[in-house]
């Protein structure tokens, strides 16, 4: 998780991509309140999605998400996204991104 967070913080799609499996999928949930990409497949598209969401120098922290390590992204102290991962071996096989403000309220 720390390597993933470091790659995201650097804004490097290449570094993020190197951590993903060939069959990686990302699923984002905006709850109809935030526009999301929905379901994305493949390391190139997933890496671009994640780095566009996070951006270089982002305020993110590795925190417990559903009892597992995850990444919490903040903007001006307000939680704007929570990311959890499914890891297969040493690579990320799935990325779940919660952007729905209603679901993020308890993170404040």
Question: CA-CA distance, 79 to 100, in Å (whole number)?
Answer: 10
Distance between CA atoms of 66 and 54, rounded to whole angstroms? 20
**Domain-embedded: residue 96:** yes
Nearest residue to 53 via CA among 23, 29, 77, 21: 29
Q: Is residue 48 part of a domain?
A: yes
pLDDT (tens digit, 9 = 90+) per residue, 23-42?
999 998 876 767 677 789 99
Pick 32 or 79 by higher pLDDT: 79
Answer yes or no: are the C-beta atoms of 24 and 92 closer than 8 Å: yes
Say if 82 falls within a structural domain: yes
Separation CA 68–CA 88 (nearest Å): 14
For residue 107, is it within any domain? no
Whether 60 has a pLDDT exceeding 70, the answer reads yes
Partners of 96 in the beta sheet?
Answer: 27, 84
What CATH number is given to the structural domain containing 39? 3.10.450.50
Domains of the chain: total: 1
Q: Which two tokens stand for residue 6?
A: 């470091």
Please give the residue range of the domain that contains residue 33.
Answer: 2-102
User: Is 108 within a domain?
Assistant: no
């Amino acid at each position: 998780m720390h390597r993933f967070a470091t790659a995201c913080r650097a804004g490097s799609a290449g570094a993020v991509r190197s951590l993903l499996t060939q069959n990686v999928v990302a699923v984002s949930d905006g709850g109809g309140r935030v526009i999301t990409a929905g379901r994305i497949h493949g390391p190139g598209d997933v890496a671009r999605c994640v780095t566009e969401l996070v951006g270089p120098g982002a305020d993110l922290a590795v925190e417990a998400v559903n009892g597992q390590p995850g990444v919490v992204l903040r903007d001006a102290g307000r939680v704007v996204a929570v990311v959890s991962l499914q890891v297969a071996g040493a690579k990320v096989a799935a990325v779940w991104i919660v952007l729905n403000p209603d679901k993020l309220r308890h993170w404040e």
